[in-house]
Amino acid sequence: MLPSIKLISGHQMPLIGLGTFKITGYEHVFKTVEAALASGYRSFDTASVYRNEIDIGRALKELLPKFKLQRQDIFITSKLGPAEQGKSNASQALQGSLQRLDCEYLDLYLIHWPGAHKLKPDDRMHRKLRAESWAEMENAHRENKVKSLGVSNYLPSHLEELLSTCTVKPSVLQIEYHPHLIQTNLKSLCDKHHIHLQAYSSLGTSNTENLLIKDPRVKEISAQCKKSTAQVLLRWAVQQQIGVLPKSTNPVHIAENIDVFSFTLSEEQMAVLSQLDQQKHYCWDPASVR
């Protein structure tokens, strides 16, 4: 049984899940989900903007019986896209995700981005629209369409604004978080309010210029532990009770990425990795969104 975290909503969420950004096409999705289930993954993270919800839903429906699993045995996350923000859109967007995933409920639903589509970053409408979105998500939570609510890519200002007005507290904050981007203020704010911090892009980036995976200090710890650099970076996060969402379509890497609970990094190794912080975003930086 993989480690899980108890969210403030009262529900359990696996500490590790499969990220699915850019994994599209049914055959591709099917083989990836099959490899993930075979390796022990029970959490799958998608979003409306990933355009793979239909394929993920179909793959899970076909594969769960093969692994003697039912819907309640897995954890499905999706997200409200920037073009879906606001009172008139959010409810329909969630219903769309439920239909595409062929689910009666989602385990977790996140606001994907603090800003709304087609608005300038400093537009005051962002605040109004994300507040409306959250209110609609709270309604869905009351109707048991979503078990837990959360946000993604929020900065402390966005999160504090939400906490000052919400009725249902966010259970999860999903952000870019790795040794090159240690967001201490956000981590502290989440700890204070019992919000689970979940990391995406834990390995930096998948492109060939990934400076994090190639860092000699990461490689040195990898050699010391006899584990891959990816396993070391994922272990650094989960050892701090930070959730991770490694993404791969390679069955070998999928299995390797979940095998991070059989070893422990020493205090010294954890400190070395934590000293690599450069405040470097490999993905999107929400700092300009008002």
pLDDT (tens digit per residue) in 56-94 = 999 999 999 999 999 999 999 999 999 999 998 999 999
Where are the domains positioned within the chain? 12-282
**Average pLDDT over the chain, rounded to an integer:** 97
- pLDDT for res 284: 86
Which phi-psi region, left, alpha or beta, contains residue 92 (left: φ > 0; alpha: ψ -120 to 50)?
A: alpha
Residues 166, 138 contacting (CB under 8 angstroms): yes
Q: Specify the pLDDT at position 208.
A: 61
- What's the pLDDT score for residue 160? 98
pLDDT at position 206 is 67
The Cα 205–Cα 186 span in angstroms is 21
What is the residue-wise DSSP string for 94-125?
Answer: HHHHHHHHT-S-EEEEEE--SS-TTS-TT-TH
pLDDT of residue 16: 99
258's tokens: 């979940």
Check whether 112 is labelled as a binding-site residue. Answer: yes
Residues annotated as catalytic are 50
Element (H, E) at 52: none
C-alpha to C-alpha distance for 30 and 275, rounded to whole angstroms: 39
Nearest Cα residue to 62 out of 35, 43, 34: 34
Spans in the chain with pLDDT lower than 50 = none
Query: 12-282 in CATH: which number?
Result: 3.20.20.100
